[in-house]
């Protein structure tokens, strides 16, 4: 009786073991391992084979799933990646397929304008660095000043050294609406979309004398000069036609109220080529002479007879420039 029961027990054990015995394939990142196990679940089978599963590794089917004969267990090992976001460096282990799925799994949210590098569909790899640039576009409304203009009116009755403010200017104001783009909180671009003047500026009015009394630069400063003398100034005109009259020094006679005109001098006192300023006439170059031009006498040039007649004879200050 006893031998029979023993044989029966052994037989039962063998049958149970035969039923529990399963051959399975484990696929670890594409590398296959095939073995026989008596474990009842995926977790037990892996444990018996000393296949360690880390917290972020992905196992399919799950560890508590029942084993099936000739079944396959797929293991995707987590890789180490770094995510730079919101001024932080996050060290992350992930077994997700690509950048997008990893960010979602880690709870890292993206706004519609945020930029991700590399692209979200890039496959994860060990040591990968992912940079997230937070991009935000804001509508900014600002009230900014509108600078007043300076309006200069000329007055030939006043000397060119006279400059007077007759009405002070006032800045206006305008409302400017802009689209401002920020990257990680820093402004990177600004585009004005509208401007509305809410307060008109008031021009500053200035009277500037234009009578050439002294050598003055365009900025209003006195030009340095070596000496000044009083001269008797007569006038002559382009008797051969404008642009066809030449001086004794070989220059073409010119009248340029905004530049240098040619005049006649006594070259023994004022050498040809000397730069001068003649009161009431303007800047001049000593370039001509004549039999009647001796000592402190000069002869200023005009294009027309009418201009020369109007000048007639004047006693003026002449400045010899540096």
pLDDT > 70 in the chain, percent? 94
Examine residue 127 and state whether it is found in any structural domain, yes or no. yes
Rounded Cα gap, residues 84 and 20, in angstroms: 49
How far is residue 286's CA from residue 301's CA, in Å, rounded to a whole number? 11
Predicted TM-score of the model (pTM): 0.54
| Rounded CA separation 42/20 (Å) | 13
Question: By the 8 A CB rule, do 235 and 302 touch?
Answer: yes
Tell me how many degrees the CA angle 259-264-268 measures, rounded to the nearest 5: 120
pLDDT value of residue 200: 97
User: Once rounded to an integer, what is the mean pLDDT over residues 288-303?
Assistant: 94
Mean pLDDT across 244-248:
86
Judge whether 12 lies within some domain.
Answer: no
Same domain, yes or no: 115 and 143: no
In this prediction, residue 243 carries a pLDDT of 87
Residue 17 lies in a domain: no
Domain-located, residue 202? yes
pLDDT tens by residue, 6-24: 555 444 444 444 457 999 9
Whether residue 57 is found in the same domain as residue 143: no
CATH of the domain at 155: 2.20.230.10
Domain that holds residue 267: 223-321
Q: Rounded to an integer, what distance in angstroms lies between the CA atom of residue 160 and that of residue 156? A: 8
- Residues sharing a CB contact under 8 Å with residue 69, sequence separation 6 or more, in sequence order: 22, 23
Domain at 42, CATH number: 3.10.20.90
The CATH number covering residue 276 comes to: 2.40.40.10
Give mean pLDDT, residues 93-103.
96
Domains held by the chain: number:
4
């Amino acid at each position: 009786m006893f031998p029979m029961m023993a044989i029966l027990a052994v037989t039962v054990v063998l049958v149970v073991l035969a039923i529990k015995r399963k051959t399975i394939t484990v696929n670890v990142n594409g590398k296959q391992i095939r073995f026989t196990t008596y474990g009842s679940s995926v977790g037990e089978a892996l444990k018996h084979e000393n296949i360690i599963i880390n917290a972020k590794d992905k196992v399919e089917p799950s560890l508590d799933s029942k084993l099936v004969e000739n079944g396959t267990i797929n293991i995707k090992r987590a890789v180490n990646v770094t995510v730079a976001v919101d001024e932080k460096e996050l060290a992350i282990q992930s077994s997700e397929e690509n950048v997008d799925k990893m960010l979602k799994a880690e709870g890292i949210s993206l706004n519609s304008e945020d930029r991700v590098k590399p692209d979200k569909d890039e496959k994860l790899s060990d040591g990968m660095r992912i940079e997230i640039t937070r991009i935000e576009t804001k509508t900014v409304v600002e009230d900014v000043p509108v600078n007043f203009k300076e309006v200069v009116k000329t007055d030939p009755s006043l000397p060119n050294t006279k400059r007077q403010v007759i009405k002070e200017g006032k800045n206006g104001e305008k409302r400017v609406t802009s689209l401002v783009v920020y990257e990680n909180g820093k402004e990177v671009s600004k585009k004005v979309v509208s401007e509305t003047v809410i307060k008109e500026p008031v021009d500053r009015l200035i009277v500037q004398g234009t009578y050439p009394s002294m050598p003055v630069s365009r900025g209003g400063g006195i030009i340095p000069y070596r000496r000044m003398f009083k001269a008797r100034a007569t006038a002559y005109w382009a008797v051969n036609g404008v642009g066809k009259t030449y001086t004794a020094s070989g220059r073409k006679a010119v009248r340029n109220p905004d530049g240098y005109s040619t005049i006649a001098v006594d070259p023994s006192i004022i050498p040809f080529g000397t730069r001068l300023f003649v009161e009431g006439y303007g800047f001049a170059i000593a370039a001509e002479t004549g039999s009647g031009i001796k000592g402190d006498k000069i002869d200023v040039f005009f294009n027309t007879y009418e201009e020369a007649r109007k000048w007639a004879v004047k006693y003026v200050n002449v400045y010899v420039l540096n």
